[in-house]
Each structure stands twice: as C-alpha cells, then as structure tokens.
Amino acid sequence: MPQSPHSKMQVKLGGNFLIAAAIESLAEASALAESHDVDREKFVSLMSSTIFDCLIYKGYGHRVAARDHHPYPDAHFALDLGSKDVSLVHSAAAQARCPMPIASLLRDRFVASQNAGRGGLDWSAVALKASEDAGSRQVAEAIRRLEKGFSE
C-alpha cells in the first residue's frame, strides 16, 4: 500500500475516478434501456443483483435509476466535489503523460452538470445529462422535482 502522502492522494483519486466512471456507465446503460422502453429501475435492479452485485452499483445504481440525487446528510458527496476530484485525476494523468480518455469524458460531463446548476446535488446527478442527451421524456419532470426540493 502507498506510504507517501502524495501516493495516498493518488489512491483516493483513483478510487473516486472508478466511482465516477461507474455512475456514468450506469447512467448511459439506463438511458439506453429507457430509450427502448425498458423500465430503468428494473434494469438497474437486475444488473446490481447479478453481474454488478456490489456496494457502488447498488447504492449509486438506485440513485441513477430513480433519479434521486438529493443531498442526503448521511449519504452525500456533492457534484462540485466530484468535479474537483475528476479534474485532479485528469491533471495528474496529464502530468504523468498517462492517457485517461474516460477521465476527459467525466470531466466534461461534470462541468456540463455544474453549468446546469447541479453542483450542490449528489454527484450521481451527472447521470441526468446522459438521460437529457438521450432525449428522455421522463427526465424533465425528475429535474423539476429535484430543483424544487433543492431550493426549499
């Protein structure tokens, strides 16, 4: 295991990068399922109880499928913080000349989500952009509910 503070920070960033990539993958797969009239919650439930039976896919999978991105006090990592970490990963990769094309995609997805005013929501709210990009008819109502709940 890493010993220096710099190495420990890179391990932390690597873990957060993997979580962000899992959220994005869940978002895209859910958008694809939904675009073919497959219930996104049933789809994610199936995936997270079979081939992706683990904490990250279960927890963030539920948030992505239900479009539940409220900042709960006991389970919340703000999108703004996720964006900072993804940017740090991208910078560290550039410094080391280590290609990370998914980090570039994630950085852009997080910035677009921040530009949409979602920085204070849970970082799983980046999933809303995948639904919007796919032309989801259901995402607009979910966004209205989130914005209403977040502004209260």
Which CATH number does the domain housing residue 139 bear? 1.10.1040.10
pLDDT at 65: 97
Q: Are 30 and 127 in contact (CB under 8 A)?
A: yes
Specify the pLDDT at position 2: 64
* Tens digit of each residue's pLDDT (9 = 90 or more) over 59-93: 999 999 999 998 888 878 999 999 999 999 999 99
The CA-atom distances, in angstroms, between 53 and each of 1, 40, 59, 85, 100 are 26, 17, 10, 25, 26
Q: Could you tell me the two tokens for 40? A: 């996104």
Integer CA distances (angstroms), 68 to 34, 55, 59, 73, 97, in order? 16, 17, 11, 14, 37
Q: Residue 140's closest CA among 150, 132, 152? A: 132
What is this structure's pTM? 0.92
- Report the candidate in 84, 149, 79 with the shortest Cα–Cα distance to residue 121: 79
Domain residues for the domain of 40 are 5-151
> What whole-number distance in Å separates Cα of residue 128 and Cα of residue 98?
29
Q: What is the pLDDT of residue 151?
A: 57
Q: Total domain count for the chain? A: 1
Residues of the chain with pLDDT under 50: none
* Per-residue model confidence (pLDDT) at position 144: 85
